[in-house]
Amino acid sequence: GNSVTQMEGPVTLSEEAFLTINCTYTATGYPSLFWYVQYPGEGLQLLLKATKADDKGSNKGFEATYRKETTSFHLEKGSVQVSDSAVYFCALAQSGGYNKLIFGAGTRLAVHP
Amino acid sequence: NAGVTQTPKFQVLKTGQSMTLQCAQDMNHEYMSWYRQDPGMGLRLIHYSVGAGITDQGEVPNGYNVSRSTTEDFPLRLLSAAPSQTSVYFCASRDLVQGGNTGELFFGEGSRLTVL
């Protein structure tokens, strides 16, 4: 079945460090891929998405590229801020199956000044 | 702009008790869903609905009932709570028409349930 695997956290970084959170997936066909972010005490919100191979999603300085050959969608940011501290979830939706988003376990990021 | 509103935010139940988690959205979204969030497991889909009168099961539906009598509301019922249902529950919605196939979900702030 479809699944999403994320690197285990927590990830602890100093402000202005480079961030990578790994995400790989298993799916048939051509799923759409998402990164959601959950700030403390809040619900999840969409950070970025990519709907086909080689697409790059970007938002708020974060980027992720849909790599079909490696079935990956790693999240990157060149310079993190304390305000980026949150839990990040990778997710996929099977083509035509957007009613059932499948989420990874989440990766907690803590950024220190 | 209220978005997706969940009540209650916190609830403690005893095993065997029943309760309903409420979810309301004011965005006229056709699609609504319930997820549970457990440590190390991410979010898992419980039930979802694509319109009034239409519901379907997700990945972990056992022990939960839903109904959709209006576009705005999608309550989640626990008929006989068990400790395994201790979790954080999220309601989420999206627009099936204007949203197209973006898959973007709008989440409520969550309801933390503890079953003793």
pLDDT in tens, chain A (113 residues): 889 999 888 999 999 999 999 999 998 888 889 999 999 888 899 999 998 899 999 999 999 999 999 999 999 999 999 999 999 999 998 766 667 788 999 999 999 99
β pairing state of B31-38 and B42-51: antiparallel
Q: Report helix, strand and coil shares of chain A as percent, to nearest 5.
A: 5, 50, 45
pLDDT at B110 over 80: yes
Could you tell me the two tokens for A111? Answer: 């950024």
Q: What is the dihedral of CA B91, A37, A5, A32, to 10 degrees?
A: 80
Whether residue A4 and residue B44 make contact (CB cut-off 8 A), yes or no, is no
Could you tell me the two tokens for A101? Answer: 């988003």
User: How many CB atoms sit inside 10 A of residue B79's CB?
Assistant: 12
Residue B41 touches chain A, beta carbons under 8 Å:
yes
Distance CA B57, CA B66 (A): 9
Residue A103 touches chain B, beta carbons under 8 Å:
yes
